[in-house]
Structure 1
Amino acid sequence: MPLSAEHKQKTRQRIVDCARELFNRRGFDEVSIDEIMQRAGLTRGGFYNHFKAKEELYAEAVSAYLDFDPSQRWEGIRLDPGCGDAFGRQIVEAYLSTAHLADIEAHCPMIALPSDTARAGPHARRAYRCLVEHMASMLARGMEGEDDGARDRSLAITALCVGGMVLARTVDDPAFADEVRRAARAVALELIGSAD
């Protein structure tokens, strides 16, 4: 009896979730299809029922973060898209939070995978670009009509958030990592402006 479309979709999602966590932890090259499938509780042969190649899975794992809701994973985080420029502040607070920094498996791929993506093929790079654009557009939403520089400011805030977290994640001194994270947060919030 063939499996239902719903079962197939749930299995595919489980593979993507396991891959995203492994890629975040160790990078694209260091993770094998066998490891991903084992973590998902499946056989390697099943991989090709869902994906043509590992890079296709990688691109989908990056894209999956478009639907990530940090309030579902990190305590004390709240995102309300209907609250104007306060939404931008909420994004910055969540992105540059200690919870995000500590949760390596749920890191945004923009933090965890920039070097891997830079060396990846067009599908992964396109998924990464879409993620950057998505974050910038969410930030710009609260600034629209405020001035003509909302897009530039939202891109700068995105760069501060991602760059700040990349540096905080890679330095060997936790106190300095926290200082970097807090400094990026302060300047990003300043660029957003004060909440109404």
Structure 2
Amino acid sequence: MPYPQSHKSKTKARILASAAELFSRKGFQKVSIGQIMKLAKMTHGAFYTHFASKEALYNESVRLTLDKSQTARLVKGPLSVQHLTDLVANYCNLQELVNKHEPGPEAVLFNEIGSEKEEIRTLFEASYSRMKKMLETRLMALGKLKKLPFANDRNVIADKARVILASLIGAVAIAKSLPGEAESKQVLTATQRQILLMMGVSENEAENMLHG
């Protein structure tokens, strides 16, 4: 007797959740189908009922985790510097990155920086472009309201968005590569602080946001 559709949906969701967790921690190359299915508490053979390949699973898990991320929800938030800086302060769950049991959603892509696989590079580029566009839109809107300490010029805004993303992505990549937890956390906190200051947040406010 075949399984009902609801059962298939639940088992597929379990595989996707396990895949997202492992890909976030280790990257595409270092994760096997067997490891994913073991974490999902399912047999290896059940994998191909839902996915044609590890690449297909990776693609779907990346898209789902990004869609659920804070980045995807930013456009629905209030138009205020506080909202944007709150997101930056918690971007990609940076503070939780130190806790290996809670990798941030965008971390699934940070492991793939410089990947030679064209499919993965395409996903990374699409994610970067989407996040950059989102930041530019919010920064431009806040600039029109005179709520930012820099010119409301498209080129200036684009560069600010690039700086924010490059700083965050670089900080996460470095922090994940350092063996010492204390220095990793310092790298993340220092990067967030500088971004908040660039956004016009006072030093006292930045400290409260990062340590409050």
Give the TM interval when normalised to the shorter protein.
0.7 to 0.9
Aligned to 1:99: 96
Aligned to 1:128: 124
For residues 182 and 35 of structure 2, the distance between their equivalents in structure 1, rounded to whole angstroms, comes to 34
Preserved CA contact (<8 Å) 1:22 1:31: yes
1:181 to 188, 195, 201: 188
- More off after superposition, 49-58 vs 129-138: 129-138
Alignment pair present for 1:82 and 2:77: yes
Preserved CA contact (<8 Å) 2:136 2:158: yes
Task: Indicate how the Cα distance of structure 1 residues 176 and 6 shifts in structure 2: closer, same or farther if over 3 A, else same.
Answer: same
Deviation at 1:185? 0.7
Q: Secondary structure at the match of 1:142?
A: helix
Deviations 1:9-45 (A, max 9, x none): 3222211110121222333222221221122122222
Aligned to 2:16: 16
Preserved CA contact (<8 Å) 2:96 2:103: no
Alignment pair present for 1:56 and 2:56: yes
For residues 137 and 83 of structure 2, the distance between their equivalents in structure 1, rounded to whole angstroms, comes to 9
Deviations 1:71-102 (A, max 9, x none): xxxxxxxx794222333212211126422332
Task: Indicate how the Cα distance of structure 1 residues 65 and 151 shifts in structure 2: closer, same or farther if over 3 A, else same.
Answer: farther
Task: Indicate how the Cα distance of structure 1 residues 11 and 81 shifts in structure 2: closer, same or farther if over 3 A, else same.
Answer: same
Aligned to 1:65: 65
Aligned to 1:114: 112
Residue 77 of structure 2 aligns with an amino acid whose one-letter code is G
Task: Indicate how the Cα distance of structure 1 residues 127 and 170 shifts in structure 2: closer, same or farther if over 3 A, else same.
Answer: same
Deviations 1:135-171 (A, max 9, x none): 3233333212422132332222111111112112212
TM-score, normalised to structure 1, is 0.78
Preserved CA contact (<8 Å) 1:24 1:105: no
* Structure 1 runs, 4 residues or longer, greater than 4 Å off: none
Alignment pair present for 1:162 and 2:169: yes
- More off after superposition, 173-182 vs 101-110: 101-110
For residues 161 and 118 of structure 2, the distance between their equivalents in structure 1, rounded to whole angstroms, comes to 27
For residues 159 and 191 of structure 1, the distance between their equivalents in structure 2, rounded to whole angstroms, comes to 14
Q: How many residues align?
A: 185
Task: Indicate how the Cα distance of structure 1 residues 81 and 176 shifts in structure 2: closer, same or farther if over 3 A, else same.
Answer: same
Preserved CA contact (<8 Å) 1:88 1:138: no
TM-score, normalised to structure 2, is 0.73
Q: Secondary structure at the match of 2:49?
A: coil
Unaligned 5+ residue runs, structure 2?
Answer: 144-151, 203-212
For residues 64 and 165 of structure 1, the distance between their equivalents in structure 2, rounded to whole angstroms, comes to 20
